[in-house]
Chains A and B, each alone.
Chain A
């Protein structure tokens, strides 16, 4: 018998490998694709704005990943059966999807966004690292509070709210690192510091799951078991996923930002002109080059 719900949630039903339909997930993904394509790959564009194959690839990978994370079986398992899958969803929404989506936007589109919104005060405030860092961590903490998880995951609307919060929390987290809009002072070191500090709570969540004596969430503790899984083993795996893979992704991002920054610094310090400068004349205490 075909099971249809509009969104993945904890149902308390025994797990089976029978496919389940989630029309709400499909509609959401279609909406995301439409909105993203409009933003990143507009149909009416100048030849210079044509996205590269890399941009298409990264953006499409981000959208496909969203679909995989939300739909059966990953979405179903994560919402009501396996905490480790739930943790992997959080990790992917927070740390994998946003970089892919950002990577799909061409420099010209960023430039257009800069021209349209970059100088607006509200936009600058909303994308300030302090705001995005706090927002991401607040979302991470609130969506891991046991009473919140157990209260929301059993309802489709609640599970939808958590998924949505993770997607937007992830975008907020990566905005100051990956989005060139708005242009801000501060280079690689600021971004590295931001990545390190803003991801500490996520690391703390992983440790908390690893060190807990009892299952943190009734949703998974009381879920019909899959195979011979033990809830504490599942929880330890969830903590390990958060701690290990989350740490690796953030460390990888820090390394990339560092090497890019070091390369830019190196380029900036290379002398452009090796010949002696033309005649220099002092006028009124200032320094200027005289024309040839």
Chain B
């Protein structure tokens, strides 16, 4: 009883220090970086982690689509972005989370097989979609999405050639249900930021 009472006091004190956090909202009211002019959703077809072709535009039409380019051996940004998205979607009401699609496009096709993508993304949320393709296809898709194409950093790595990192765009691109990219979420986006923005983005028609 005393612990709960103390927790309430501590919460008030600690959360009080977080006041003013939302003063940095974009003109549209988002925590993420809002684009000055929305961009159209790119159209591409890649190979799904389940084996078949995946028409990005058609499969995600009408959903809030969160597109991320990364790789499963990534030690930092990729697992954090995926883990935070999964945690927030798990907390949001189903009438919101059911209108969200998370699409992960690999930037490391040599190591990210379909099975590897299924296994890795399944650790976060089985509903996340993993896509792969040839290096050329993936580079083209990244350019179409407006991010810098990923570059494998193989210099000075192990002799096996399997222990390298990939330099890639760290932001999540958010396409609203009207198929337009409106907001970007850089590395460092927190769960509370997602929880604030996703319900707003889902409603954009």
Chain A residues whose C-beta falls within 8 Å of the C-beta of B2 in the assembled complex: 200, 203
Report whether B190 and A204 are in contact in the complex, using a CB–CB cutoff of 8 Å.
no
Dominant secondary structure at the B interface: helix
Report whether A231 and B87 are in contact in the complex, using a CB–CB cutoff of 8 Å.
yes
Report whether B14 and A218 are in contact in the complex, using a CB–CB cutoff of 8 Å.
no
Given the known interface contacts A145-B17, A147-B18, the answer about A204 and B10 at a Cβ–Cβ threshold of 8 Å is yes
Q: In the complex, what's the smallest C-beta–C-beta distance from B41 to chain A, in angstroms?
A: 28
Chain A residues whose C-beta falls within 8 Å of the C-beta of B110 in the assembled complex: none
A14 within 8 Å of B (CB atoms): yes
Counting residue pairs across A and B whose Cβ atoms lie within 8 Å, the total is: 89
Chain B 1-42 interface residues, beta-carbon cutoff 8 Å to A: 2-11, 13-14, 17-18
Which of B14, B79, B191 has the most chain A CB atoms closer than 10 A to its own CB? B14
A201 within 8 Å of B (CB atoms): yes
Report whether A201 and B190 are in contact in the complex, using a CB–CB cutoff of 8 Å.
no
Nearest A-chain residue to B88, judged by Cβ? A214
B84 within 8 Å of A (CB atoms): yes
Report whether B6 and A203 are in contact in the complex, using a CB–CB cutoff of 8 Å.
yes
Report whether B79 and A225 are in contact in the complex, using a CB–CB cutoff of 8 Å.
yes
Distance, CA A249 to CA B69, complexed state (A): 48
Chain B residues whose C-beta falls within 8 Å of the C-beta of A225 in the assembled complex: 79-80, 83
Distance, CA A14 to CA B83, complexed state (A): 16
Tally of contact residues, A, Cβ under 8 A: 35
Tally of contact residues, B, Cβ under 8 A: 29
Given the known interface contacts A222-B188, A224-B80, the answer about A213 and B91 at a Cβ–Cβ threshold of 8 Å is yes
Report whether B83 and A205 are in contact in the complex, using a CB–CB cutoff of 8 Å.
no
Which of B6, B17, B91, B192 contacts A147, CB < 8 Å? B17
A262 within 8 Å of B (CB atoms): no
Chain B 76-101 interface residues, beta-carbon cutoff 8 Å to A: 76, 79-80, 83-84, 87, 91
Nearest A-chain residue to B84, judged by Cβ? A221
Distance, CA A223 to CA B87, complexed state (A): 15
Report whether A228 and B123 are in contact in the complex, using a CB–CB cutoff of 8 Å.
yes
Which of A207, A214, A215, A232 contacts B3, CB < 8 Å? A207
Report whether B84 and A207 are in contact in the complex, using a CB–CB cutoff of 8 Å.
no
Report whether A224 and B76 are in contact in the complex, using a CB–CB cutoff of 8 Å.
yes
Chain B residues whose C-beta falls within 8 Å of the C-beta of A228 in the assembled complex: 123
Report whether B7 and A211 are in contact in the complex, using a CB–CB cutoff of 8 Å.
yes
A5 within 8 Å of B (CB atoms): no
Report whether A215 and B7 are in contact in the complex, using a CB–CB cutoff of 8 Å.
no
Q: In the complex, what's the smallest C-beta–C-beta distance from B79 to chain A, in angstroms?
A: 5
Distance, CA A213 to CA B196, complexed state (A): 13
Chain A residues whose C-beta falls within 8 Å of the C-beta of B52 in the assembled complex: none
Which of A201, A215, A231 contacts B6, CB < 8 Å? A201
Distance, CA A223 to CA B14, complexed state (A): 21
Q: In the complex, what's the smallest C-beta–C-beta distance from B202 to chain A, in angstroms?
A: 19
Distance, CA A207 to CA B80, complexed state (A): 25
Report whether A206 and B3 are in contact in the complex, using a CB–CB cutoff of 8 Å.
yes
Distance, CA A200 to CA B13, complexed state (A): 14
Distance, CA A218 to CA B84, complexed state (A): 11
A230 within 8 Å of B (CB atoms): yes
Chain B residues whose C-beta falls within 8 Å of the C-beta of A218 in the assembled complex: 188, 190
Which of A208, A210, A228, A247 has the most chain B CB atoms closer than 10 A to its own CB? A208
Report whether A14 and B75 are in contact in the complex, using a CB–CB cutoff of 8 Å.
yes
Chain B 168-202 interface residues, beta-carbon cutoff 8 Å to A: 187-188, 190-192, 195
Which of B3, B7, B76, B84 contacts A14, CB < 8 Å? B76
Report whether A230 and B87 are in contact in the complex, using a CB–CB cutoff of 8 Å.
yes
Given the known interface contacts A206-B3, A208-B11, A214-B190, the answer about A224 and B17 at a Cβ–Cβ threshold of 8 Å is no
Distance, CA A245 to CA B79, complexed state (A): 31
Given the known interface contacts A218-B188, A230-B87, the answer about A224 and B75 at a Cβ–Cβ threshold of 8 Å is yes
Mind listing 18 A-B residue pairs with CB under 8 Å? Answer: A144-B14, A201-B9, A203-B2, A203-B3, A204-B7, A204-B10, A206-B7, A207-B6, A208-B14, A218-B188, A218-B190, A223-B80, A224-B76, A225-B79, A228-B123, A231-B84, A232-B87, A247-B3
Q: Can you add 14 more A-B contacts, CB < 8 Å, to A14-B75, A204-B7, A231-B87?
A: A141-B14, A146-B14, A201-B9, A203-B6, A204-B3, A210-B7, A211-B11, A213-B91, A215-B190, A216-B14, A224-B75, A228-B123, A231-B84, A247-B3
